[in-house]
Amino acid sequence: MSERLRTDALHLGVIALLVVLFLTLPTYYAGNLSRIMVLAIYAIGYNLLFGYTGLLSLGHAMFFAAGMYGYGLTAQLAGWPALPAFALGILAGAALGLVVGALALRTAGVAFMIVTLMFAQSAYLTILYFGTWTRGDEGFVVPGVARVVLGIDLSGETERFVAALILFSLVLLVSGRLVRSRLGRTLVAIRENEERTRMLGYDATRLKLIAITVSAALSGLAGAAYALLFGYVGASFAAVPYSIFPLLWVLLGGAGTTVGPLIGVFFMFYLIDTASGITLAYMLIAGLALVLLTLFAPQGIAGLVRRRVRWLP
């Protein structure tokens, strides 16, 4: 079996597994799958930049929020139907990624991290500043009519799952193809040795800008999807923790692997969910687990698997 076929088969297997889990798990756990898939889209977007291109952003929450507010505000204030508003959310993420990328890519390394963090903080404060329209820190509930797509109300459990599954599957399959494409391999080359890539004649700055824009578009898609499927838009999603989460998910799951982001979100979600039932200091348990994982599996869970299964994409 070719590498491409094996990769597609793996991804289709993951999608099939999600369907099986939805049909067989108890209601609570089945319901969590929708949220996990939406957050996994966000993590896949982050992974494209961090795991494959080697750029560590500390400001991705602004792209997630751009999608969320791009969708939510047009639905709330302009009364746009779900699909055009959703498309605008993705566009908002991509546009912000293009602008921030064009400015932030003048820096590298630690400076890039700080610049993206500062941009994200500015975006967060901008949302608060325009509180008349955004309702600031409180946020707002998405109008019910803007959660109906092609006559289907996505606030239902099964409908929400199917919508999340479609979005996640598309992103997983497309990103799987993307990272094995000429563009994807060039991004990996930049990650491994940017100077050498430049010497080979590639315009590394332009390619990194493309990576940021695509990564931001996927993050925006996730933000818009969260608002569409869960009915809430709020500034807390633009705050610093939501820039750190995708980094943790990707590190846990396995940076530079296609299934790592989903594994990372899954692991982190249930780590917090389970630990919070045991102690109030559940973030301490989460932190301890992260330290242990970093010590004993620095390449993440999927990275650990890749040691044995070399072809794991």
Partner 1 sequence: MTTMPKIDRRSALLGLGASAGALAVGTRFTHAQSTAPIRIGFQKHATGIGAAYGRWYDATTQAAVARINEMGGINGRPVEIITEDDGTDPKRGAEVLEKFASQHECDVAFGTLYSHVVIGSAPRAGELKLPYFVVSEGHHVASGMLNRYTLQPGITDVKSQVQSMAPFVGANLGKKVAMIYPDFAFGHDHRDYFSAAIEAEGGEVVAKIAIPPTETSFTRYFPQIPRETEVVYHVMVGPAVLTFVKEMGEFFGPSRPEIFGFIDSLEAVAIDSPGLEFLEGTYFWEGNPRYAQENQTEWDAAYRDAVGVDETGASVDDARDVSTYAHMFGCWETLNVIKAGMEASGYQGPADRPALIEAVEAMSEMPEGMDHPQGPKLFNGRTHQVFGQQFISQVRDGKLVVAHTASIEDGMYEDEVDYTMQPF
Among 6, 56, 136, 285, binds partner 1 (CB under 8 A): 136
Among 99, 148, 289, 304, binds partner 1 (CB under 8 A): 148
Pairing of strands 152-153, 140-141: unpaired
Q: Looking at 141, 170, 200, 309, which residue binds partner 1 (CB under 8 A)?
A: 141
Considering Cα of 32, then 34, then 38, then 43, what sign does the dihedral take? Answer: positive
Return phi, psi of residue 135, to 5°: 60, 25
CB of 6 to partner 1, least distance (A): 30
298 contacts 254 by C-beta, under 8 angstroms: no
CB nearer partner 1, residue 38 or residue 204: 38
Q: Rule CB under 8 A: is residue 31 a binding residue for partner 1?
A: yes
Q: Give the three-class secondary structure for 276.
A: coil
Residue 9 or 78: which CB sits closer to partner 1?
Answer: 78
- The answer to whether 58 and 117 are in contact (CB under 8 A) is yes
Interface with partner 1, residue 101, by CB under 8 A: no
Cβ nearer to partner 1, comparing 35 with 180: 35
From 66-74, 91-99, 169-177, 269-277, span contacting partner 1 (CB under 8 A): 269-277
126 binds partner 1 (CB under 8 A): no
Site string for partner 1, 208-237 (x = CB under 8 A): ----------------------xxx-xxxx
Q: CA–CA separation, 271 vs 273, rounded Å?
A: 6
Question: Does 261 interact with partner 1 (rule: CB under 8 A)?
Answer: no
Site size for partner 1 (CB under 8 A): 46
What are residue 269's phi and psi, to 5 degrees? -60, -50
- Scored b (16 or more CB within 10 A) or e, 287-311 reads eebbeebeeebebbbbbebbeeeee
**Which C-beta is closer to partner 1: that of 183 or that of 240?**
240
User: Does 78 contact partner 1 by CB under 8 A?
Assistant: no
Residues from 10 through 29 that contact partner 1 (CB under 8 A): 22-23, 26-28
**Using CB under 8 A, which of 13, 79, 156, 287 touches partner 1?**
156
Is position 161 an interface residue for partner 1 (rule: CB under 8 A)?
Answer: yes
Binding test (CB under 8 A) with partner 1, winner from 19, 21, 30, 173 = 30
Cβ density class 39-67: b for 16+ within 10 Å, e for less? bbbbbbbbbbbbbbbbbebbbbbbbbbbb
CB of 11 to partner 1, least distance (A): 24
- Name the burial class of residue 226, with classes exposed (0-12), middle (13-18) and buried (19+) by CB atoms within 10 angstroms of its CB: buried
CA angle 121, 123, 127 (to 5 degrees): 115
- Tokens at 159, concatenated: 């409908």
| Residues facing 148 on adjacent strands | 153
Q: Would you say 77 or 283 has its CB closer to partner 1?
A: 283
Alpha-carbon distance values, 154 to 16, 17, 28, 148, 247 (Å):
21, 22, 18, 6, 29
Minimal distance, residue 9 CB to partner 1, in Å:
25
Nearer to partner 1, 20 or 309 (CB): 20
Name the residue nearer to partner 1 (CB basis): 231 or 253: 231
Binding site for partner 1 (CB under 8 A): 22-23, 26-28, 30-32, 35, 125, 128-129, 131-132, 135-142, 145, 148, 151-153, 155-159, 161, 230-232, 234-237, 273, 276-277, 280, 282-283
